[in-house]
Structure 1
């Protein structure tokens, strides 16, 4: 509470005094004292009711009431299950908030994600920090109490949840998804269930997931991450773009992947959550959170490379076409596009001599037309030969009377 509500204070006196004041008004109580002598405070029934009135109208979900119950035989307080894992979750939220990643009311714990088979995968922590470039991120806090393959199963469940359709999805979309495996990948993310729950991430892929390891060794973290990278590759790894220009495209398709980043609580506490303490699965170096979530080799690079490849291909095809352009056998000039089309179209029989260019073809046509016109004029000219008649004398017919 102290780190989450007063991240800039070096001492917890102000938080402790406020809790004592709330205790005097029967709004909070001490549930247990941890081994390091830190006290765990929870809301009383009255405080829980007051908190609901204050927070729920603002759309802020409040956790369930932790009832104060006692064992009838021993008289020991029951329900004191707040453990080191819960403390690590709260500490992670505090470190994110201290670095400016998320408002103190922008955190939520134990958020359920129901799968198609009814299984509910609960996220330890959900942060919404659009101002910090992280509109939404799910976090799993692991104190190495779980097997590495259990974390792979969690990753798979988040991936499966990101591929679900809402119950009121369009009938055509539902039938498309049922028709063949992988058809959901043809459905835009805006039509999927996760977009009803969370805002757009501003990046390709599904909702990002962070694994934060606490109270463990560097060797154990490295071994766990190695299993996540290998066994969970199908869920976090990008794919190659399916395109005609395979050799020219090095960009990767992250559209169906879960962006997974890892860090440790110790790194967050030592360097700050805004430092280069996050490593993206599939990458070697640690980066800041936003850099780790970004995809410099993703969609934006693909569009640039595709545009260059398409322009280069167009230039190549143009050069090949130019090399095949016919040359006039009479004048040596190359055919124009129009003349080339005329000589290769289905009506090429109308194009005359196919070996000459348009200009020479026009000359041929002109000569033929001139010759035809001359012949026509000659045929239409009057006869000029002497027929033995005097000028002005009526022309005798072919047959005449002899005397």
Structure 2
């Protein structure tokens, strides 16, 4: 009997385990150069003011060029732009002691000119106010605060030895609380100090406010005396509401101070000298008398500063000694704050002088 052949059995498809055993293994992730999407990428943070790397000498750590010295990276760097309120409280106190009063905006312009706001200055002021007794005081007018030194603050400032011998003996409380224009007069003087400071013509610490100078006709009290960066000095007067007669009278008082007789007896080595020579001329016998700088500031219900300046020039040319023994120059507060004292903003008073404006360095010298 013949049997029929069996049909062929179809091949069984390989299983997953069988294929894993026969297929070559995939490349290891550690050997692959393509980044894995499951691993987050790392990026370097670029710092704008970071210096490029440089070779480090042997025996030094990574942040110091000398051996066995702690790295500069571990030291806190303090700049004018990053001072905290506690760091500048001493400077704020000394500035208020010198200038009598100021606003936070003015203090920021003098102490932290690169800051965008007054937060650090206000923090320092609150720090001084919270002392017991308080070292500073304040008054408020029309959403503005005016700060001044208290008697305790003046004592603290004087004890530092940083104040001029005749400066910082009067608080600014009466000026800050004044309703007669005295406060605005003081603030105009501080704006003048800011203009000189920003132009680097004089530092804010080189001002003295309302220091009495003896004359035969009575004391001369300038609004300010400034030591300029070239070593010379200048008197500064701020005018807002003073009558022209009083302005002329003050010029005559300057002339009396210039011509005052010597205050000492002198000796064999040196002739007797007057008060201004002893105070401002130093050892030089040929230094000329200090220039007198008038700054006309705006005031309500008064003529514009430029108008008052022109009227003052008409009267000043009749004062004896002006433009000869005394050099008088004028400007407006607007011009001074806009251009600076080192630009041609000063107009010299006296006969024969036109309306030409000069810089501070170009002013003539008194004879």
Q: Which of 222, 227, 233 does residue 315 from structure 2 map onto?
A: 227
The Cα of 1:210 is off from its aligned counterpart by: 0.5
* 1:23–1:29 Cα contact (<8 Å) kept: yes
* 1:55–1:62 Cα contact (<8 Å) kept: no
Q: Which of 262, 277, 283 does residue 195 from structure 1 map onto?
A: 277
Show structure 1 runs of 4+ deviating over 6 A. 201-204
Matched residues, number: 247
1:125 is matched with which residue? 224
Asked whether 1:142 is paired with 2:228, we answer: no
Asked whether 1:162 is paired with 2:258, we answer: yes
Distance in 2 between the 1:269 and 1:45 partners?
Answer: 32
2:292 is matched with which residue? 209
- SS of the equivalent of 1:83 reads helix
Distance in 2 between the 1:203 and 1:141 partners?
Answer: 29
Q: TM-score, with normalisation over the residues of structure 1?
A: 0.55
Structure that is richer in helix per residue:
1
Asked whether 1:89 is paired with 2:185, we answer: no
The Cα of 1:60 is off from its aligned counterpart by: 6.7
The Cα of 1:259 is off from its aligned counterpart by: 1.0
Distance in 1 between the 2:308 and 2:165 partners?
Answer: 39
Q: Which of 34, 52, 55 does residue 141 from structure 2 map onto?
A: 34
Q: For structure 2, which runs of at least 5 residues remain unmatched after alignment?
A: 1-106
Call closer, same or farther: CA 1:64–1:206 in 2, change over 3 Å: same
Look at both structures and tell me which one has the larger radius of gyration over its CA atoms: 1
* 1:155–1:235 Cα contact (<8 Å) kept: no
The Cα of 1:170 is off from its aligned counterpart by: 4.9
- SS of the equivalent of 1:111 reads coil
Q: Which of 243, 248, 255 does residue 152 from structure 1 map onto?
A: 248
Distance in 2 between the 1:9 and 1:277 partners?
Answer: 28
Call closer, same or farther: CA 1:8–1:126 in 2, change over 3 Å: farther
The Cα of 1:288 is off from its aligned counterpart by: 1.0
Q: TM-score, with normalisation over the residues of structure 2?
A: 0.60
* 2:149–2:173 Cα contact (<8 Å) kept: no
1:260 is matched with which residue? 328
Deviations 1:188-245 (A, max 9, x none): 8x8322111113699864221000000151223212222223x22x22133xxxxxxx
Deviations 1:49-80 (A, max 9, x none): 21110136774721324579xxxxxxxxx982
Task: Map 1:41-60 onto structure 2 (within 5 A).
Answer: 41-55=147-161, 59=165
Call closer, same or farther: CA 1:13–1:154 in 2, change over 3 Å: same
Q: CA RMSD in A?
A: 3.1
